Structure 1
């Protein structure tokens, strides 16, 4: 396992994160404590140090289990949890990103995790009712109090993350140093705005749904069954999605890999820092996923995956990358311009793929 720097913090985080959504069976699926303990040990033995959970995972059971499993070795891990989601249906203020919700959720998480600080505290979801200035201020208060090391954000639009970090910089508050989003070869919407924004602000991306809840293992092509999220159920009906999975399987067969390893390797090949979050309920699944660090896809294989996914950036990205636009905006000699902020040697590039060849 190699390590990435968490944005501008200097904190070292492993190139694969361990998701603890599967720690516990109270939701009718997941892994019992004994299996979860072995998963954690396997991950640590491989050099992994980043554990991701949330206050509502398994109704708090994930945090409680981690609190037990991390006794005596808490400081060897970067521990991340989240707040936003409702914790008490009878309390109207137990949901959202406002101060009362944050403080109550943080204190409850600290108790369940049996620790006095959270290394990375995520804002779990977008909340239009709470001003961004209030969120960033109260997060900074908790950082200054020593209860939070750093703050991150999940499931927010790119423009609001940029607003939040600009505001934090201007006021001397703690900025978001991590971005957790749904991202995989079947779901590439983040490439339009979120990933370019993250690169511009030097924010590493943590990809949840990295295997599309098992879809990218290829098991559904042969009638496999499993738990599907609402998002995954929609992806099952997306035109051409099976073609992408079949291409993943073909590439896996070519390289002697598994489809899961190919899918994770694709994520790790993306521009900027992209850290897949692994979620497993069985030891062999995690061992397989960890093997992705040894998989490097060729340029030809990457091109095949991206061509099969039939993803387009859309307006205005496609328009500003057209030959006529590039020539008018940057001059007829735009191909001769090399800029470290774009694709070196390929001219101006505002997205994640090079301008079209002409």
Structure 2
């Protein structure tokens, strides 16, 4: 698999990453092991997790597999901290919480360091400079090699990245992780331009539109799908509307013309967007993952990219719109 630099850093990662959102919850140890081995055998290196996935179960499972299945040195392990696992889904990015969470993550993962440590979301209750100081401490102490953020809007990302570049001794942000797909292009308005200008690589989550861009929901909701499960159905539901259906129809036409699957076209589209380093794949089993990884040989023709751009274009008005006509 081809590898890319993460933003303007020297860290190279596979241009497809493996996500572990369902590990330890819907994905058991055997399926997780099969996925990790399949990913590694395909030349993949970037594995993304978080301390709140399955209440730490995803990290613990990944740690067990690293010990028994795949050499630690072959992987780029990324994890996140800052989410608090309670019914209100609140965030705490105070220095104390973040550093304690990092230590707990390292213990579950069974490693001395993570390659990429990310703030899971912006916390308006904590001064941003305090949050960023925790990232500096993590790198200075050797517990993290690189740092990034996740789910920061445009101004939050620009403020954080600029702060880190403002003085010697601070650790520059390497990446931002955001949802990005043909069904969710909101990052193109402010987040992606900020990331590209400030030298951060984008790690798109849900690059297949929470599974909808595979086309499997065109005839209804399969019982074995995420949309058919009680806990994940609300996650998929926003992308099952009429607007999404039009995009999926266009995607299917493009896939038929190229003699590939809609999954491959959707994944190749987001993988090769400007500013993208590595989309993160979430698969139910190794068979699904193998199908996604086979996109490596596909590059979309320009006319297909343009057609997909047009049919999925988000509506941006002021201030992006020409204000002189208002």
TM-score normalised by length of structure 1: 0.84
Task: Map 1:62-81; keep pairs closer than 5 Å.
Answer: 62-71=58-67, 73-81=71-79
Query: How far does the alpha carbon of each residue in 1:36-73 deviate from its partner, in whole angstroms, 9 at most, with x for none?
Result: 11110110111100000000111111101111100161
Is the Cα–Cα contact under 8 Å of residues 17 and 51 in structure 1 kept in the other structure?
yes
Tell me what 1:197 maps to. Answer: 194
Tell me what 1:235 maps to. Answer: 239
Task: State yes or no: 1:206 paired with 2:211.
Answer: no
Task: Map 1:15-30; keep pairs closer than 5 Å.
Answer: 15-25=15-25, 30=26
Gap regions ≥5 residues in structure 2: none
Counterpart of 2:54 (choices 47, 51, 58) is: 58
CA RMSD of aligned residues (A): 2.0
Query: How far does the alpha carbon of each residue in 1:139-182 deviate from its partner, in whole angstroms, 9 at most, with x for none?
Result: 10111011111111000111111111211112331121011001
- Cα distance in 2, alignment partners of residues 262 and 113 from structure 1: 34
- Cα distance in 2, alignment partners of residues 44 and 176 from structure 1: 26
- Cα distance in 2, alignment partners of residues 168 and 311 from structure 1: 31
- Cα distance in 1, alignment partners of residues 261 and 164 from structure 2: 43
Query: How far does the alpha carbon of each residue in 1:105-124 deviate from its partner, in whole angstroms, 9 at most, with x for none?
Result: 11110110001111100100
* Secondary structure of the corresponding residue to residue 118 of structure 2: strand
1:4 positional shift: 0.6
Say which one has the larger Rg: 1
Is the Cα–Cα contact under 8 Å of residues 95 and 101 in structure 1 kept in the other structure?
no
Q: Which stretch of structure 1 is more off in the superposition, 95-104 or 36-45? A: 95-104
Q: Which stretch of structure 1 is more off in the superposition, 206-215 or 165-174? A: 165-174
Tell me what 1:223 maps to. Answer: 220
Is the Cα–Cα contact under 8 Å of residues 4 and 277 in structure 2 kept in the other structure?
no
Tell me what 2:307 maps to. Answer: 304
- Cα distance in 2, alignment partners of residues 290 and 58 from structure 1: 25
- Cα distance in 2, alignment partners of residues 213 and 149 from structure 1: 30
Tell me what 1:134 maps to. Answer: 130
* Secondary structure of the corresponding residue to residue 81 of structure 1: strand
- Cα distance in 2, alignment partners of residues 313 and 274 from structure 1: 24
Gap regions ≥5 residues in structure 1: 326-358
- Cα distance in 2, alignment partners of residues 232 and 31 from structure 1: 18
TM-score normalised by length of structure 2: 0.91
Query: How far does the alpha carbon of each residue in 1:239-298 deviate from its partner, in whole angstroms, 9 at most, with x for none?
Result: 421010011111111111111111001102311234110011112110111011211111
1:312 positional shift: 2.7
Tell me what 2:322 maps to. Answer: 319
Task: State yes or no: 1:41 paired with 2:49.
Answer: no
Q: Which stretch of structure 1 is more off in the superposition, 290-299 or 51-60? A: 290-299
Task: Map 1:275-314; keep pairs closer than 5 Å.
Answer: 275-314=278-317
* Secondary structure of the corresponding residue to residue 260 of structure 2: coil
- Cα distance in 1, alignment partners of residues 280 and 313 from structure 2: 24
Change (3 A) 1:288 1:306: same
Is the Cα–Cα contact under 8 Å of residues 164 and 175 in structure 1 kept in the other structure?
no
- Cα distance in 2, alignment partners of residues 310 and 65 from structure 1: 39
Q: How many equivalent pairs are there?
A: 315
1:95 positional shift: 4.5
Task: State yes or no: 1:107 paired with 2:103.
Answer: yes
